[in-house]
């Protein structure tokens, strides 16, 4: 039996990627899901696969260093940061930066991620809004994984993360995207590792083609 190809993928595209895997054809690839920062650290320590799915910046950095094959980058999706609450909870106002700031100060507790792109941005955002000390005093900061799982268990009133990651968890309701002035859009891209299996190129093309606008929208993502 042929060895399955391996994909190292950021959590942000986990839901559409898992949906596509049964359609991938041939021996299903093995996929390792982790935040981009964790994947970059593992790659720096020598871990390799056939395909990497990371932030656009991560893909470009690894391509420049020769770890990923030049000319193979495929932009897959664009994602914004959102907020979720436990199922049945009231949806706080976040339509403006002022409303978001007031909501973050009023909430009894919240959760965000330390390693993900959204968590890094959110930590910088609350510093910029002048509320980092107050927010972090009541925040659960998880090392990795889905923040919405903490909210779904009733352990946090608000969860902050990429909208696609929030939508991947049952037991929460999406409040919406953070206001444009307090948000950032991340582009997630894929590329081949240098020395990837010969058939990995065709797999990458099928993967990129499968990330249709309809599939992405169903999971809180936009076309890249």
Taking the C-alpha atoms of residue 204 and residue 162, their distance in angstroms, rounded to an integer, is 23
What is the CATH architecture assignment of 79-182? Answer: 3-Layer(aba) Sandwich (3.40)
> What is the spatial distance between Cα 176 and Cα 173, in angstroms, rounded to a whole number?
9
Query: What are all long-range contacts of 135-138, with beta carbons under 8 Å and residues at least 24 apart?
Result: 135/104, 135/105, 135/110, 138/107, 138/108, 138/109, 138/110
Domain with CATH 3.40.190.10 in the chain: 6-77+185-218, 79-182
The closest of 176, 196, 187, 205 to 25, measured between CA atoms, is: 205
3-state secondary structure of 16: helix
Write the class of the CATH domain 6-77+185-218.
Answer: alpha beta
Please tell me the total number of residues recorded for the chain in this structure.
Answer: 224
Convert the pLDDT of each residue in 142-189 to its tens digit: 998 899 999 999 999 999 999 999 999 999 999 999 999 999 998 999
pTM for this prediction: 0.85
pLDDT values of the chain reduced to their tens digit, one per residue, 224 residues: 578 999 999 998 999 999 999 998 888 899 999 988 899 999 999 999 999 999 999 999 999 999 999 999 999 999 999 999 999 999 999 999 999 999 999 999 999 998 778 888 999 999 999 999 999 999 999 998 899 999 999 999 999 999 999 999 999 999 999 999 999 998 999 999 999 999 999 999 999 999 999 999 999 999 99
CB-CB contact of 214 with 33 (8 Å): no
Place of tokens 């990429």: 162
Distances (CA, A) of 168 to 18, 136, 212, 216, 221: 11, 25, 18, 12, 11
Other beta carbons within 10 Å of 46: 7
What distance in Å separates the CA atoms of residue 112 and residue 132, rounded to the nearest whole number? 13
CA distances from 112 to 28, 123, 208 (A): 32, 9, 29
- Residue 76 tokens read as 């897959």
């Amino acid at each position: 039996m042929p060895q399955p190809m391996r994909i190292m993928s950021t959590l942000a595209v986990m839901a559409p990627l898992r949906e596509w895997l049964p359609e991938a054809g041939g021996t299903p690839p093995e996929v390792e899901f982790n935040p981009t920062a964790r994947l970059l650290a593992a790659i720096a320590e020598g871990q390799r696969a056939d395909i990497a799915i990371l932030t656009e910046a991560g893909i470009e950095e690894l391509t420049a260093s020769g770890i990923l094959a030049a000319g193979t980058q495929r932009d897959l999706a664009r994602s914004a940061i959102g907020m979720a609450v436990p199922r049945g909870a009231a949806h706080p106002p976040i339509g403006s930066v002022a409303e978001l700031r007031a909501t973050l100060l009023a909430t009894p507790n919240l959760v965000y991620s330390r390693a993900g792109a959204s968590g890094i941005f959110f930590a910088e955002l609350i510093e910029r809004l002048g509320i980092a000390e107050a927010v972090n005093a009541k925040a659960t900061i998880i090392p990795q994984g889905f923040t919405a799982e903490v909210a779904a268990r009733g352990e946090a009133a608000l969860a902050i993360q990429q909208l696609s990651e929030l939508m991947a968890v049952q037991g929460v309701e999406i409040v919406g995207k953070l206001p444009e002035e307090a948000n950032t859009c991340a582009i997630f891209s894929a590329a081949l590792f240098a020395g990837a299996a010969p058939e990995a190129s065709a797999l990458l093309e099928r993967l990129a083609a499968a990330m249709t606008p309809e599939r992405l929208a169903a999971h809180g993502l936009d076309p890249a």
